[in-house]
Structures are given as C-alpha cells and as structure tokens.
Amino acid sequence: MSRKVCVIGVGHTDFNSMTPDMQWKDIMYEACNKAYVDAGIDPRKDVGSFITCAEDYWEGFSIFDEFVPDQVGALLRPCCTVCGDGLYGLGNAYMQIMTEYFDIVSVEVHSKISDLLTYGDIMLHAFDPLFDRPISGPAKRPNYGGSPEYTPEAPKPFIGSSNEKERIHPYFLAGLEMQHYLRKTGTTEEQCAAVVVKNKKNAFFNPYADYESKITTEDVMESEYLFKPLKKLDISPNVDGAVCFVLADDKTAKKLGIEPIYLDGFGWSSETPWLSTRGMNADYATKAAKMAYKMADIKEPRKEIDVVELDDRFSYKELQHLEAVGLAREGEAAMLLEEGALEVGGSLPTNTSGGSLGVGNCLEATGMQKALEIIQQLRGHAAKRQVKDAEVGLAQAWRGIPSGSGAVAIFRRG
C-alpha cells in the first residue's frame, strides 16, 4: 500500500483554568473550525470520517458521541468516539485513511474539567474496588491542582462508611511512583524541580499556555508536600481546552496545495490499571515507542529526533518518559537536564510548549497538545521557542493515573 498519512490542518483554543463563558460544545467548535480553515476544506463536503476522543466519566453523561456531530461538522456523517487520549484518535484516523475508504479524517479532543466538581472521586472509579479504592486518610483533602488560589473539594465520606475518615486523592499513587523512580535511578527531588522551572519558563513563549511562571528550584522545593515526595508545584494544574487535527492521504494533500507533515510512525500500549499486576515503570511508553520507531524506520532515536513533547503531568514523569522512550539511558535524563540538553536550544529540546506543567493537564487532550506543539515546530511556527532546523518530532502521551496506557506518534516534515 503506497499511501502516506499526513496532517493538513490543526486548530486549537487557548488553555485556561476556567472557561465559565463557554460550554464544551463551544470549545469543540472553535478548535474544529480553525482546523478546517487551516486545511482549506469544508467539513460537510470533504471530510469522510470524524473522531472525537472522550470519556463519559469526564463528560458527565453517557454515550457522549451522540452529542458530538453538530459542533464538529459531522451531521449525517460517520462519527465515532475513542475512549482514550487524543494520540489514540490519531492512530485510529491513520488506520481509517489507510483502508482507502476515507481520504480525509478529522480528530477532535477536548477538556472541560472545570465543570467537574469531583475530579478525584471520578478517578477512583478506575482503581480496584476492593483493594485500592477504599484507601483512607486524613480528613483534610490537599490542594492537588487547579489555579494557585484553587479551593480544595469538600471531603466526601466513603459510600456506606460509618467512620470519620475520608478518602485521600488518587494522586497518592503518583507519590509512590515518584519514590520508586527516584530510588531506582538516583534522580533527586531537586532535579525534578528543575523540570518544573524549565517548562514554566518555556510556557512564557507559548501564547496559549496558562501556567507560565518565573520560579526557581527553591520555590518548587519549598512548595507544600502533597503526596511525598510530590509537591504542589510538581503537579500540573487542570485546564480546559480543545484541539482538532485534520489528517489526509498524501495525494489529497498535494491536490489541496498543502505542504504536509507526515504521521510517520505510531505506537500504543494498553496495560492493566490494576496496581497489583503491574510495576511502577513506564513500560507503556517503552512498548509504544518501539512500535513507532519500527514503523518510522528510526534506528537511532537520539540522533534522528529533533524535538520531543513528553507527558509531564508530574515533574518526574518527563524524566521517566524520556528514558522509557529510549532517548536517555536509565538515570541519564536528569543529567541531560542539568547539562541544558533539554532546553529549546539544547541537543534534545523537550517540552518546548511548556508541557503540562506550563500549559496544564487537559485530560484526553494532553497527547494532542503535545502533537500540536510538534506540528508547530515542524512548520516553523513556534516563534521564540522555535527549534532550529526541526525535521522530525516525537509526541508521547500517558492516559494518567492509574492506567498503564500510552501512545507515541512521530511526525516528519515533508
């Protein structure tokens, strides 16, 4: 099969901690409309299939895709939902185009997390109901995210519980994983704090980022411990936002007169969320990266990849993922950070967008926010954060706690 799949249009909203003046339909429409204009197409005539990436739990109602067609332009057209991160949606779009049934596919993904009042309680539904979910802790629920002025949720007792203890937030698992990573690799809390400093600094040059900040490692180290060794500033705050990608086969892109960015490789891995049957390493990232490298014919990732966007919803995750995808040896990521290799002007620019620490945690849109940055870099549209001569970029996503699922996408300039 000689077809190649490429990105011909992208659109996005700004990412904000709260968007009370907009509904989820509004942000979806804005991102999709921008993507169709960018691609120079009419969704009612040109797009053969539409994909939205959403989870009913986050949305607050079931069968979410029944409410999708209007605002993405898919009325009376094929439309489906991928219950997972946006990079999984890109993978599905790739496969649909490769069947030759569709020439153009639209992928939309979003977060309207500010509407959700029980974020932690929703996450607990992904935990084992007998052994993990009933973990209880102090009555005080810590501030785990949101804006700096975020007011913690009111503690809620266990259903059917007669005692006075309250649930602790599921981010306790990130604290355990961080402990495991630090001990295994010899990485320090200060080195993780330096990730926060770098990414929030990069966010200053990203117009759609919401959490840019000029801070020091001391500021991060002095922030409140929430899930030791995880501190408040080690955690990405939640944001609203939407992203839309338009993908097409290469012949269609040429007909439209668009210089394509090829989706050269894609890989994914979905492991069990049950903590008792898996370890605390980022094996999902390793497996997904190997699949993507093979597809893209990348033999030496460190030499061939010019810019990287990795899931950094917790500071240690950037370093862990860098090693898991084979761009650093075990324990080496922190040293690369200290040497300046991960800076915009370094040898391995990482999270030039500001990452989730600078942009925010946008749930299922996280991977697409990473891919969006890669597309902007390869197009040369990243302005002051532009990586010189960027030809190949890697975007990596993780589904989040407690999952062991993730995806990797590799893009190449045509």
Over the stretch 47-60, which tens digit does the pLDDT of each residue have?
999 999 999 989 88
- Poorest-pLDDT segment among 60-74, 134-148, 254-268, 372-386: 134-148
The confidence band for 156, taking pLDDT boundaries of 50, 70 and 90, is: very low
> Average pLDDT, stretch 16-32?
93
pTM (2 decimals)? Answer: 0.91
Span 230-249, pLDDT tens digits = 999 999 999 999 999 999 99
At residue 1, the pLDDT reads 56
At residue 62, the pLDDT reads 86
Give the Å distances, CA to CA, from 310 to 116, 147, 250, 272: 26, 22, 27, 21
Give the closest residue to 285 by CA, choosing from 270, 272, 301, 305. Answer: 270
Which strand ranges, in their side-by-side order, compose the sheet holding 79-82? 79-82, 49-53, 104-112, 240-249, 5-12, 261-271, 404-413, 392-398, 307-309
At residue 167, the pLDDT reads 58
* Residue 164 pLDDT exceeds 90: no
> Average pLDDT, stretch 92-113?
96
* Residue 165 pLDDT exceeds 70: no
At residue 276, the pLDDT reads 80
* Residue 74 pLDDT exceeds 70: yes
Contact status, residue 68 vs residue 349, Cβ threshold 8 Å: no
In-domain check, residue 161: no
The confidence band for 135, taking pLDDT boundaries of 50, 70 and 90, is: low
At residue 154, the pLDDT reads 37
At residue 143, the pLDDT reads 47
> Average pLDDT, stretch 148-158?
36
Give the closest residue to 411 by CA, choosing from 306, 265, 207, 280. Answer: 265
Give the closest residue to 142 by CA, choosing from 234, 240, 20. Answer: 234
pLDDT above 70 coverage of the chain, percent: 92
At residue 86, the pLDDT reads 95
At residue 262, the pLDDT reads 98
> Average pLDDT, stretch 6-21?
94
What's the rounded Cα separation, in Å, for the pair 42 and 263? 22
* Residue 9 pLDDT exceeds 50: yes
Span 302-315, pLDDT tens digits = 999 999 999 999 99
- CATH code at 277? 3.40.47.10
The confidence band for 319, taking pLDDT boundaries of 50, 70 and 90, is: very high
At residue 158, the pLDDT reads 31
- Token pair 């390869």: residue: 378
In-domain check, residue 399: yes
* Residue 151 pLDDT exceeds 60: no
How many beta carbons lie within 10 A of that of residue 325, not counting itself?
25
In order, the DSSP letters of 325-357 are: TTSS-TTTHHHHHHHTTTSTTSSS-B-TT-HHH
What's the rounded Cα separation, in Å, for the pair 391 and 341? 18
> Average pLDDT, stretch 111-121?
90
In-domain check, residue 129: no
At residue 25, the pLDDT reads 94
In-domain check, residue 164: no
In-domain check, residue 273: yes
- Poorest-pLDDT segment among 64-73, 128-137, 205-214: 128-137
At residue 39, the pLDDT reads 97
* Residue 209 pLDDT exceeds 90: yes
Name the average pLDDT for the chain. 90
In-domain check, residue 176: no
At residue 218, the pLDDT reads 97
Alpha helices in 14-68 (DSSP H): 24-39, 43-46, 56-59
How many structural domains comprise the chain? 1
Residue 229: is the preceding peptide bond cis (ω within 30°)? yes
* Residue 72 pLDDT exceeds 50: yes
DSSP code at position 157: B
In-domain check, residue 287: yes
At residue 275, the pLDDT reads 82
* Residue 190 pLDDT exceeds 90: yes
Higher pLDDT among residues 161 and 14, named by residue: 14
Q: Which of 53-57, 147-151, 158-162 has the highest mean pLDDT?
A: 53-57
Host domain of residue 257: 5-114+238-413
At residue 323, the pLDDT reads 98
Looking at this protein, which amino acid is placed at residue 113?
I
In-domain check, residue 370: yes
How many beta carbons lie within 10 A of that of residue 213, not counting itself?
17
> Average pLDDT, stretch 206-214?
94
At residue 141, the pLDDT reads 46
